[in-house]
Chain A
């Protein structure tokens, strides 16, 4: 499953790309595994 979600652009708060928790989790994961230069 890919947590890429459809946002209904007829609503104002669904008109911009949303980067959610998994995005930050990924950066934190790379940081803790490979150090800051690995991010």
Chain B
């Protein structure tokens, strides 16, 4: 993505890069081949991710060209998941927290936990993993669940 200027601290010739391309030229949607919620164990070199893509035929009727796509929105706070994906995530996070999470499935709904962030240890081992179809390589990005967590005061 080279949509504008970037910091001079970043040197694209000497530093690691990963280029991704939008679905259409000049578009803002990026096609995903993978979007999952799960865990990577670096020590054991294992991973397990449950897909939360909306790629069922029934989903396609609802989402059309938007199915399995992502957009980057700086004016948005955390992670926004369309209905089906939010519901899948809601089930998974409920399992991961042994039923301590509450996710509100209506417009503007968020997930809340019954304890502060420090009350959970293993929960922060979970992450989201996604890969953009139109990439220069097979690299993927993992986003820790903790990225989107904050104590509500």
Contacts and interface: CB of A to CB of B under 8 A. Distances in A.
Interface of A: 1-9, 12, 14-26, 36-37, 39
A5 B82 contact: no
B78 A7 contact: no
B84 to A, nearest CB: 7
A18 B70 contact: yes
Nearest to B17: A36
B59 to A, nearest CB: 9
B143 to A, nearest CB: 6
A13 B114 CA distance: 31
* Interface range, B side: 35 or more
Interface string B79-91: 1111111100100
Contacts, number: 147
A15 B143 contact: no
Given A26-B143, A36-B15, A5 B101 contact: no
A25 B69 CA distance: 21
A25 to B, nearest CB: 8
**Does more than half of chain A's interface fall in helix, strand or loop, or is it mixed?**
mixed
B11 to A, nearest CB: 9
Contacts of B111: 1-2, 4
B83 A6 contact: yes
B86 A4 contact: yes
A15 to B, nearest CB: 3
B82 A17 contact: yes
- Among B35, B81, B101, B112, the most chain A Cβ lie within 10 Å of the Cβ of B81
Contacts of A3: 77-79, 110, 148-150
B1 interface: no
B108 A5 contact: yes
